[in-house]
Amino acid sequence: MAYIYSEPSHTFGEYLLVPGYSAVDCVPDRVSLRTPVVKYKRGEEPALSMNIPLTSAIMQSVSGEKMAIALAKEGGISFIFASQSIEDEAAMIARVKDYKKGFVTSDSNIKPSATLNDILALKKKTGHSTVAVTDDGTATGKLLGIVASRDYRVSRMEGTELVSSFMTPFDKLVVASDDTSLKEANDIIWEHKINSLPLVDAQGHLKYIVFRKDYDSHKENVNELLDANKSYVVGAGINTRDYAERVPALVEAGADVLCIDSSEGFTEWQKLTLDWIRARYGDTVKVGAGNVVDKEGFRFLADCGADFVKVGIGGGSICITREQKGIGRGQATALIEVAQARDEYFAETGVYVPICSDGGIVLDYHITLALAMGADFLMLGRYFSRFDESPTNRLRINGAYVKEYWGEGSNRARNWQRYDMGGDDSLAFEEGVDSYVPYAGSLKDNVGTTLYKVRSTLCNCGALSLPEMREKARLTLVSSTSIVEGGSHDVILRETSSD
């Protein structure tokens, strides 16, 4: 008969951390969240590390180029989604690597023949008040003018006025050439007391915009993750079907690390993919694999040469693999077992293979629990999908702002490469849903708050680093009654004003 585990599998919500002794110098500002991304030998430094233990998921609704740049600024890595053409994914990677810090490619653009109503609709969609007016309405068209909030008064206009009639025309703008340095651009902004500076090429085509408001934020990105060429670090998803064509294109585009995007990683498909990469690139191309939920799966992928291993099946908020197939394991239990396997592998071989916890995060403190249970870093989908930088639309539903969020196994994504087991290319049944998540604003603000909670909790456990946290952490299972006790109870909550 089938092997049956004697203990049930558990989720993060069933655990709490027991605080330990904290010295007076154990304060959040002194906590380091630096963590390895790829495997390394005992006594050596990993070829790639992150300054924060967060990566964004390999999903259409999460990880585009804007997300990659924003997360790299904070010290993490985005894995650009693979469920698109090889050319499009490679182009996204190239744009991230070519991104000039402080130089923004305009995503609010309009033709001069548009109307004020079009401006208002665009502002509602993007949240940006500065709109570039170009001859073709694109980010690289010939710049004809700029529309800012000071250029119109909604209460005194009809809405049908042409943009050309109220924009600040090109000849009234302060502009600079596209070879202007960031320091020079900021000097011009301060000298002329303007809020934005368009940079144009010799033909007058818009290339970038430098914003006054970004000046301080650029100085604040102390954790930004850069490669040897001072470009942002970016990851890319691959699949086990077209890797012979996709991997070379992504490597050529500059991807710093790859990850096989699959719902289940304990397969020969992953071994064949890893074998092909190692045969052609050796260890120069870094690639993670997964997902697994037990020590056998980890050992298999580690022996196959994976640079890191992802843990988790069916725990994502939009994943219905467990519901559809009855496959998976509680994320906490899976992570604890795989972390033990990683440590055993390190003791035996002297090779440390980092593990990435993928799925099961509902509340911020679950991130800290995952790190205490042994995760070197986490991959998050729903968390990042809520932010301005995710590639989906922001909508207003029932009076509240939301963002679209769908799984790679959903009918919308139709990512058959991720779930294919051979045979017909069509998606036979869905393993992900199409949904909305509450809009949460900018990545920077939210990640800053989340990580402050993580650092604060490490201090409660007497730890100033993630390795020290794993060494000192004490975890306790909680009962259903104590879960209720942990929230507000037996009180009447005051309603807070939304003003």
Would you please indicate which residues are annotated as catalytic (active-site) residues? 319, 418
Q: CA torsion sign, 281 to 374 to 69 to 183?
A: negative
C-alpha–C-alpha distance, residues 470 and 479, integer Å: 23
Q: Which of 347, 352, 345 is nearest to 308 (CA)?
A: 352
By three-state DSSP, how is residue 470 classified?
helix
C-alpha–C-alpha distance, residues 257 and 272, integer Å: 18
Q: What is the total residue count of the chain?
A: 499
C-alpha–C-alpha distance, residues 161 and 151, integer Å: 12
C-alpha–C-alpha distance, residues 344 and 347, integer Å: 5
Phi/psi region, residue 270 (left: phi>0; alpha: psi -120 to 50; beta: rest), is alpha
C-alpha–C-alpha distance, residues 401 and 439, integer Å: 5
Residue type, 312: G
C-alpha–C-alpha distance, residues 66 and 73, integer Å: 11
C-alpha–C-alpha distance, residues 82 and 88, integer Å: 9
**Numbers of helices and strands, H then E, in the chain:** 17, 24
Phi/psi region, residue 26 (left: phi>0; alpha: psi -120 to 50; beta: rest), is beta
Q: Which of 68, 70, 55, 49 is nearest to 465 (CA)?
A: 49
